[in-house]
């Protein structure tokens, strides 16, 4: 029987809080409270902009790929595997949804060149359960993971 109960993935303890501020929306800039981020933001040409800055989808792709890669290394280490040389790339798409708003879709490409396909697949599945981005998006954003 299929278990239809939702799994609670909320944190039981907050260990770190990131803080960023947007100025001017998609045609402005973003800064982080600690000063490490100070970026111009611009609409990409595909959405009618000039593309002269980064955009929220690129920032989301960077965050998701680095977070998922860290989760992958963590589960690999727990299982006794060295994931040196592994990479995770993310593509984040944006488009209109049925509620007259916009939605996202994510495609993660995972490279584990030193592991056989079965082991790599098990580690990717485990990382998808551990990664906070995967937990936050599960059920409301289509996430496709390709192992190659």
Residue in this structure with the two tokens 């770190």, named with its chain if needed: 16
Residue with the larger pLDDT of the pair 51 and 7:
51
> What average pLDDT score do residues 96-111 get?
96
Q: How high is the pLDDT of residue 1?
A: 47
Q: Look up the pTM and report it.
A: 0.92
Q: CATH 2.20.25.10 in the chain, residues?
A: 1-54
pLDDT digits (tens, 9 = 90+) for 30-55: 999 999 999 999 999 999 999 999 99
Q: How high is the pLDDT of residue 5?
A: 64
Cα 148 from Cα 54, distance rounded (Å): 27
- In this structure, the strands spanning 142-147 and 102-111 are parallel
Q: Which CATH architecture has domain 55-147?
A: 2-Layer Sandwich (3.30)
User: Is residue 65 within 8 Å of 90, Cβ to Cβ?
Assistant: yes
At the top level of CATH, the class of 1-54 is mainly beta
pLDDT digits (tens, 9 = 90+) for 55-64: 999 999 999 9
């Amino acid at each position: 029987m299929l278990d239809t109960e939702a799994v609670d993935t909320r944190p039981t303890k907050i260990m770190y809080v990131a803080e960023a501020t947007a100025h001017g929306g998609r045609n402005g800039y973003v800064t982080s409270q600690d000063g490490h981020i100070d970026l111009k933001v611009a609409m990409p040409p595909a959405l009618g902009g000039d593309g002269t800055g980064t955009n929220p989808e690129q920032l989301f792709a960077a965050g998701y790929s680095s977070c998922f890669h860290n989760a992958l290394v963590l589960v690999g280490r727990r299982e006794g595997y060295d994931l040196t040389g592994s990479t995770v790339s993310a593509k984040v798409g944006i488009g209109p949804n049925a509620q007259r708003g916009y939605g996202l879709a994510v495609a993660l490409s995972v490279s584990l060149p030193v592991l056989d396909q079965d082991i790599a697949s098990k580690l990717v599945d485990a990382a998808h359960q551990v990664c906070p981005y995967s937990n936050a998006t599960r059920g409301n954003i289509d996430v496709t993971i390709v192992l190659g």
